[in-house]
Amino acid sequence: MKIIAKLMASAALCTASMAHAGELEVTHWWTSGGEAAAVAEFAKAFDATGNTWVDGAIAGSGGTARPIIISRILGGDPMGATQLNHGRQAEELIEAGLMTDLTELAEAEGWKDLVNPSSLLDACTFEGRIYCVPVNIHSWQWIWLSHDAFAKIDTPVPSDWSEFAAAAPKLEEAGIVPLAMGQQGWQQNGAFGVMTIAIAGLDAWRKVVVDKDADAARGPEYAAVFEAAVDARNFAANSNVQDWNLATNMVITGKAGAQIMGDWAQGEFQMAGKVAGEDYTCLPGLGVNEILDTGGDAFYFPVIDNEDTKAAQMALASTLISPEVQVAFNLKKGSLPVRGDVDLSAANDCMQKGLDILKAGGIMPSGDMNLTADTQTQIEDLMAEFWTSDMSADDAQERYADIIASAE
Amino acid sequence: MSSSSNARKPSGLFRNLSAKIASVPMVLTALVVFVGGTAWTVLYSFTSSKLLPKMNFVGLDQYERLWSTRRWLISIENLAVYGFFSMIFTLVIGFTLAALLDRKIRGENVFRTIFLYPFALSFVVTGLAWQWILNPDLGVQSVVRSLGWESFTFNPLNDPDIVIYGILIAGLWQGTGLIMVIMLAGLRGIDEDIWKAARVDGIGTVKTYIRVIIPMMRPVFVTALVLIASGIIKIYDLVVAQTNGGPGIASEVPAKYVINYMFRAQNLGQGFAASTMMLVSVIVILIPWAYLEFGGKKRG
């Protein structure tokens, strides 16, 4: 009730404050150091086209920002453009006709041939029309290892998960937290997803997440994943931070041995002046299964009934995907560009690894594209509980399977 | 009777016409926004609405799912624990402070201001402040340890079993001041002669408070009770600021479940079902109380 009243109030207040011609308010949740530096590249390029980028950064992770963004669109106070993870999050907004159709621009610029992997554009496509611009490829499947931490215990930096698990007790003895983990559901859920791919393999994952096969979720492959997750939970027992970048910082400063986190962690290492391969190592797929998911960020353009604004929206859409901007943005962000035809020789060790995997076709669709926000929230809730309690692997697996069984 | 009076003057409907016209907007607001909004919410809680409300009925599915969700059960349990202790401690501490202030102590104004001050802070500020106070590396624990008691452990916010008590402390700190002031106003309304009579009869101070004064303050207690109860049901911002439901889901509360499922999980039906259950629980408590208070025989 309270929220509805708030929505009404904000809708009434704000409809009057439409943006000026060529001025676009862009909302996003890129607020950590590396992210902010990357988004500034977008703003610079967009301002150079004669329009004005009005920054609407929303602090907190996507979980905080997304409801604000969606309630503004639903409440009749749409921003000029907004970041969302593509996939099923915006499906109903598109269905309700609240998002601008970008198909014409996409055809004129030939996005279909540019965007690689093509699944990114598919995720933006709804009933044959294109509604968003993919801007980067983010993959979750990375573990970041601190060279300092392993030097302290005189152990070579592990090259896969089982080596890491073997070294973990030694790290603990030396007073180092083996695994840094922010105590937030999405991080725990993400880490679990990474372990799934690495340990259960792609086929089992596909059966569970794409086909929603609850029996597969009860199977032995997943049992192994939950066992490993129990180990990881013990490794992370002394990690008392909340935000992901604070957890990354533990790895940067050598207070923690490793962190399972997506490639956006890269931006933080870069900001801290660390060099891949010397100060830290990244292992795609935990060093076991070198497969990356191709989730990522995309920009959506809510429908605004104003020709000037519409023109500015199209200009922004075209800017976001242009080759120069793609390179500048992704180098700062630590993510991979969405087009295969750009020169990324400036990319570092970790990004090169990622690019090579993309070229070799080691890709899978991301969870965002297959599970609804509802199912993901349920899984996040389960993970939040699992990671902070002493829930047994069997119990967790059973409840996970129940959620999959009821998923749409 | 009525037919004869009808002939002479208009019916009661038109008496005080201007006053009734003036109250129409508020009546409409109450009907449309509160009653209408509530009915709409209850209706859609029986649908499978996701991000947008849609009219495809699924019966009690949302409720079945709700009551088999661990997070909801934990939320209800937390609310019960928080509500029970918050109710008791707020009343007891509030009344005790008020009674102490009422003993005509020196510097009453200063104490009253100090006790009431936390109420001027929002729940978000309260939550953040207590997050720091209860943080083992910054707050109480480290202070006591630095005083020499090395083994002292007080870390409620990171312990799933007692985290709700950490929130309770913050809630009490914020809320008791107001109740104290209300109680103090009630105590000041007690006739001085009552005290004199009690003294003449040789009744002790504490006994006078319990046997005589408190029963006389019944309306004040009802007011305090309603204020505390409504504060308990709607607890949300304090939890968000202090623990954000953590560690894990150990300090989740129902209002937070509603918001999360409506907007983050994009499942309106589930959120509506949860908010309907909150409404039902309020009604279940309210109806017997209203019956006792207003129904039956009128009290002298």
What is the per-residue pLDDT for A63? Answer: 74
Question: pLDDT digits over A209-244, tens only?
Answer: 888 888 999 999 999 999 999 999 999 888 877 788
Residue tagged 């010397």 (tokens): A278
In a domain, residue A271? The reply is yes
A93, A223: one domain? no
Question: pLDDT digits over A124-171, tens only?
Answer: 888 889 998 989 888 888 999 999 999 988 889 998 888 999 999 999
Q: Which of B70, B263, B267 sits opposite A385 (nearest CB)?
A: B70
In a domain, residue B98? The reply is yes
Mean pLDDT score, B118-136: 89
Distance from CA of A283 to the nearest CA of B (A): 28
Contacts of B235 in chain A (CB under 8 A): none
Which residue does chain B place closest to A238, by CA atoms? Answer: B158
What is the per-residue pLDDT for B7? Answer: 53
In the predicted structure, residue B79 carries a pLDDT above the cut 70: yes
Contacts of A382 in chain B (CB under 8 A): 70
> Token digits for B236?
């949300």
In a domain, residue A7? The reply is no
Q: Is B52 on the interface with A (CB under 8 A)?
A: yes
Mean pLDDT score, A291-300: 84
Pairing mode of beta strands A363-364, A292-293: parallel
In a domain, residue B27? The reply is no
Quote the Cα angle for A219-A224-A230, to 5°: 125
Strand partners, A339: A115
What contacts B167, CB < 8 A, 6 or more positions away?
A: B82, B238, B239, B242, B243, B251
A119, A168: one domain? no
What is the per-residue pLDDT for B3? Answer: 47
Residues within 8 A of A (CB atoms), B 264-293 only: 264-267, 270, 275
Which residue does chain A place closest to B158, by CA atoms? Answer: A240
Contacts of B65 in chain A (CB under 8 A): 406
Omega of the bond prior to B247 within 30 degrees of 0, cis? yes
CATH of the domain at A387: 3.40.190.10
In a domain, residue A6? The reply is no
Which residue does chain A place closest to B72, by CA atoms? Answer: A381
Q: Which of A3, A96, A374 sits opposite B265 (nearest CB)?
A: A374
What is the per-residue pLDDT for A389? Answer: 84
In the predicted structure, residue A85 carries a pLDDT above the cut 60: yes
Tell me, what DSSP letter sits at residue A190?
A: H
In a domain, residue A281? The reply is yes
A62, A191: one domain? no
* Cβ separation B65–A406 shorter than 8 A: yes
Question: pLDDT digits over A374-404, tens only?
Answer: 888 888 889 988 988 888 999 999 999 999 9
Contacts of B34 in chain A (CB under 8 A): 1
In the predicted structure, residue B73 carries a pLDDT above the cut 90: yes
Tell me, what DSSP letter sits at residue A18?
A: P
In a domain, residue B268? The reply is yes
In the predicted structure, residue B269 carries a pLDDT above the cut 80: yes
In the predicted structure, residue A292 carries a pLDDT above the cut 70: yes
Distance from CA of A194 to the nearest CA of B (A): 20
What is the per-residue pLDDT for B297? Answer: 54
* Cβ separation B51–A389 shorter than 8 A: no
What is the per-residue pLDDT for A81? Answer: 92
Domain residue limits at B275: 69-294
Q: Is B158 on the interface with A (CB under 8 A)?
A: yes
> Token digits for B242?
């202090």
A82 near A109, Cβ under 8 Å?
A: no
Q: Is B36 on the interface with A (CB under 8 A)?
A: no
Q: Mean of the per-residue pLDDT values for chain B?
A: 87
What is the per-residue pLDDT for A4? Answer: 54
Tell me, what DSSP letter sits at residue B298?
A: P
Taking alpha carbons only, the member of A12, A400, A5 closest to residue A212 is A400
A131, A61: one domain? yes
In a domain, residue B38? The reply is no
What is the per-residue pLDDT for B298? Answer: 52
Q: Could you give the number of structural domains in chain A?
A: 2
* Cβ separation A372–B71 shorter than 8 A: no
Question: pLDDT digits over B178-210, tens only?
Answer: 999 999 999 998 888 988 998 899 888 888 888
In the predicted structure, residue B72 carries a pLDDT above the cut 90: yes
A386, A281: one domain? yes
Domain residue limits at A229: 142-293+371-406
Q: Which SS3 state, helix, strand or coil, does residue A28 take?
A: strand
A46, A125: one domain? yes
- Highest-scoring range by mean pLDDT, A369-378, B15-24, B269-278: B269-278
Mean pLDDT score, B134-150: 86
Q: What is the percent of chain B where pLDDT is above 70?
A: 94
Which of B62, B266, B277 to probe by mutation at the A interface, max A CB count within 10 Å? Answer: B266
d(CA A292, CA A119): 13
Q: Which of B37, B51, B250 sits opposite A92 (nearest CB)?
A: B51
Contacts of A66 in chain B (CB under 8 A): 263-264
Q: Could you give the number of structural domains in chain B?
A: 1
A113, A209: one domain? no
d(CA B175, CA A208): 48
In a domain, residue B78? The reply is yes
What is the per-residue pLDDT for B45? Answer: 92
Q: Is B145 on the interface with A (CB under 8 A)?
A: no
Mean pLDDT score, A315-339: 88
CA pseudo-torsion sign A345, A350, A351, A355: positive
Contacts of B135 in chain A (CB under 8 A): none
In a domain, residue B55? The reply is no
What is the per-residue pLDDT for A248? Answer: 92
* Cβ separation A377–B263 shorter than 8 A: no
Question: pLDDT digits over B231-263, tens only?
Answer: 898 899 999 988 888 788 889 999 999 998 988
| Number of CB pairs, chain A paired with chain B, less than 8 A apart | 86
* Cβ separation B246–A240 shorter than 8 A: no
A287, A255: one domain? yes
Question: pLDDT digits over B210-236, tens only?
Answer: 888 999 998 899 889 888 988 898 899
Distance from CA of A361 to the nearest CA of B (A): 32
d(CA A111, CA A129): 12
Residue A287 has, within 13 A of its CA and on its CB side, a CA count of 16
Pairing mode of beta strands A125-126, A81-85: unpaired
In a domain, residue B48? The reply is no
pLDDT band at residue B5 using 50, 70 and 90 as cut-offs = very low
Q: Which of A70, A92, A376 sits opposite B263 (nearest CB)?
A: A70
In the predicted structure, residue B127 carries a pLDDT above the cut 80: yes
Distance from CA of B264 to the nearest CA of A (A): 6
A327, A382: one domain? no
Distance from CA of B124 to the nearest CA of A (A): 16
* Cβ separation A378–B265 shorter than 8 A: yes
A299, A289: one domain? no
A282, A212: one domain? yes
In the predicted structure, residue A15 carries a pLDDT above the cut 70: no
> Token digits for B226?
């309603």
Taking alpha carbons only, the member of A99, A42, A30 closest to residue A70 is A99
* Cβ separation B70–A71 shorter than 8 A: no
Which residue does chain A place closest to B34, by CA atoms? Answer: A1
CATH of the domain at B174: 1.10.3720.10
A397 near A210, Cβ under 8 Å?
A: no
What is the per-residue pLDDT for A12? Answer: 43
In a domain, residue A4? The reply is no
Pick the range with the lowest mean pLDDT from A43-57, A114-128, B29-43.
Answer: A114-128
In a domain, residue B260? The reply is yes
In a domain, residue A10? The reply is no
Distance from CA of A278 to the nearest CA of B (A): 32
In a domain, residue A331? The reply is yes
Q: Mean of the per-residue pLDDT values for chain A?
A: 85
* Cβ separation A381–B70 shorter than 8 A: yes
Quote the Cα angle for A100-A363-A231, to 5°: 110
Contacts of B249 in chain A (CB under 8 A): 381, 384-385, 388
In a domain, residue A9? The reply is no
Please enumerate residues of A whose Cβ is less than 8 A from a Cβ of B. 1-5, 63, 66-67, 70-71, 74, 89, 91-93, 95-96, 183-184, 240, 242, 372-374, 376-378, 381-382, 384-389, 399, 406
* Cβ separation A373–B264 shorter than 8 A: yes
Taking alpha carbons only, the member of A359, A357, A354, A360 closest to residue A331 is A354
Distance from CA of A3 to the nearest CA of B (A): 8
What is the per-residue pLDDT for B296? Answer: 58
A256, A301: one domain? no
* Cβ separation A373–B267 shorter than 8 A: yes
- Give the global pTM: 0.75
Tell me, what DSSP letter sits at residue B164?
A: H
What is the per-residue pLDDT for A270? Answer: 83
Tell me, what DSSP letter sits at residue A25?
A: E
> Phi/psi class of residue B266: alpha, beta or left (left: φ > 0; alpha: ψ in -120 to 50)?
left
